[in-house]
Amino acid sequence: MRVLGLDPGSRRTGFGVVEKRGNRLQALCHGCLVPPAKAELPQRLAFLAAGAADVMERFAPDCVVVEEAFYHENVRSTLVLGHVRGALIVTAVQREHAVAEYSPREIKMSVTGNGGATKEQVGFMVQRLLGIPDALQADAADALAGAICHLNRAGLQLPRRTSTAAKQLQALLARAAR
């Protein structure tokens, strides 16, 4: 099974593709999509969607994991994050990929055993689990952790939490295609 993990952010979106064969996990690619710093939000969303689409087309994941939003005290930050998540989910649904969502706490728990783990702890465990020798960018590590979380749950035959937003978008796109 091959999973693309996405750690959404309007200034930097982490991505990572992890494949599971038997009990072995392997990172196929990882990095960050970084739109031009002075770009307006619509242009940043288009850049991030195009970059995610490129990764989806190159690696053909069985599922795309998008980290759920956490709530900032700054309402604007939360709203912008929602826009980014929406653009990434639409990109996946348009390519007929299954979409799953996990909270940051669920992802941290799955990878480190501690739902309150620091970014450094997540990065360290992702490196260990995937045998990556070099330090990872924090956003790429979080994206890989999301993919690992999904693969761990799939390995236990737990039901995948399919995004409600993705289901609603699929239904809307199906109606529009008629």
The one catalytic residue in 7, 68, 101, 106 is 7
Q: 84 near 33, Cβ under 8 Å?
A: no
62, 67, 73, 120: the active-site residue: 67
Paired strand residues for 98? 63
Amino acid found at 148: I
- b (16+ CB within 10 A) / e for 124-140: bbbbebbebeeebbbbb
Strand order through the sheet with 24-33: 24-33, 13-21, 2-7, 63-67, 98-102
For residue 44, the tally of other CB atoms under 10 A from its CB is: 24
Q: Which residues contact 41 (CB under 8 A, 6 or more apart)?
A: 10, 80, 83
Q: What backbone phi and psi angles, to 5 degrees, belong to 50?
A: -65, -40
Catalytic residue chosen out of the listed positions 68, 106, 139, 142: 139
Is 54 considered catalytic here? no
Whether 134 is a known active-site residue: answer no
Active site residues: 7, 67, 139
